[in-house]
Structure 1
Amino acid sequence: MIISLNIKLVYGIYYSEDWQCELALEESTTLEALHRTIQRAVDFDDDHMFEFYIARTERSGERQRFECDDSSDMSCQLKDLFPLEKGRKLFYWFDYGDDWKFQISRSRKKPFAPEPGVKYPRVVSEEGVRPVQYPSVEC
């Protein structure tokens, strides 16, 4: 089945504009595959460490972490994570130096069968200004 996720940029050192997108992807998608999908959606270079975590807010100290260097964490499937416990959210943290944080939520759309001829995962919609990973700095 295909599910829809909303991905919203909530923080980054170069964050200045709102950006979010809706992704359609298999509910069996792993966190490793979700990482690559988000990277393509924002057009970032996949050149830094990352993690996913479940917490109340992006800054919460109490977190359930899924780290990129732990293959068992990254093989976790979306269908095993959602629905999240009440008051908890899923976050994706990329590049600990530039501190890109995205909130991931399941949309209210019901899961649906894959449409023939449509390739998944895919970006369904996008709003705002896509972040720039390495903006040029003027002197």
Structure 2
Amino acid sequence: MIWTIKVVLWSGFCDEISWEAKIAIDSSSTLDELHFAIQEYVQFGNDHLYEFYTSRNERSHKRTRYSEENELVYETTLEMLYPLKKGNSLFYLFDYGDLWIFKIAKTRKKPFDPVVGVGYPILIEESGNKPIQYSGFEE
């Protein structure tokens, strides 16, 4: 099934930037596949470590981590995660130095069968300004 998820830039190197996107993605996609989709749509270089985690808020130390280190990003699918434990949210942390944090939520839009000939994930909607990964640095 194809789900619609919302990805919101929660915090990062430039906190004044506001960006969010809705993505249609197969519910059997792994968190690693979601990582690559977010990287593509936010237009970051895939040059830093990352992890996903579930917790009550983005700063909570009580969290369940899904990372390359424990290899859960390769094994965990969206349909395995949802529904999340009551009160928890899913977060995506990219770059442990700049701490880009995105909040990810499954929308209430009804899941649908894949459309023949369409490659998922796809960007459905986007608003705000994309953050610049290395703002303030000249190339």
| Fold equivalence (TM over 0.5) | yes
Paired letter, 2:35:
H
Q: Provide the secondary structure at the position in 2 that maps to 1:118.
A: coil
C-alpha displacement of 1:73? 4.0
Q: 1:104, 1:2 → 2: CA distance?
A: 16
Q: How does 1:28-107 map to 2 (within 5 A)?
A: 28-107=28-107
Identity of aligned residues (%): 43
Paired letter, 1:118:
V
CA contact (8 A) 2:52 2:73 kept: no
User: Which consecutive unaligned segments of at least 5 residues does structure 2 have?
Assistant: none
Relative to the length of structure 1, the TM-score reads 0.94
Relative to the length of structure 2, the TM-score reads 0.94
Q: 1:66, 1:10 → 2: CA distance?
A: 18
Paired letter, 2:128:
G
CA contact (8 A) 1:15 1:131 kept: no
Q: 2:91, 2:72 → 1: CA distance?
A: 18
Q: 1:92, 1:72 → 2: CA distance?
A: 13
1:113 alignment counterpart: 113
14-23 or 104-113: bigger deviation: 14-23
Q: 1:133, 1:122 → 2: CA distance?
A: 21
Residue correspondences, number: 138
Q: Provide the secondary structure at the position in 2 that maps to 1:34.
A: helix
Paired letter, 1:74:
Y
1:10 alignment counterpart: 10
C-alpha displacement of 1:137? 4.5
Q: 1:56, 1:16 → 2: CA distance?
A: 23
C-alpha displacement of 1:108? 0.3
Q: 1:137, 1:70 → 2: CA distance?
A: 33
Q: Provide the secondary structure at the position in 1 that maps to 2:103.
A: strand
Structure 1 23/69 Cα, relative in aligned 2: closer, same or farther at 3 Å?
same
User: Which consecutive unaligned segments of at least 5 residues does structure 1 have?
Assistant: none
Query: CA RMSD, aligned part only?
Result: 1.3
C-alpha displacement of 1:67? 1.3
Q: Which runs of 4+ in 1 moved over 2 A?
A: 69-74
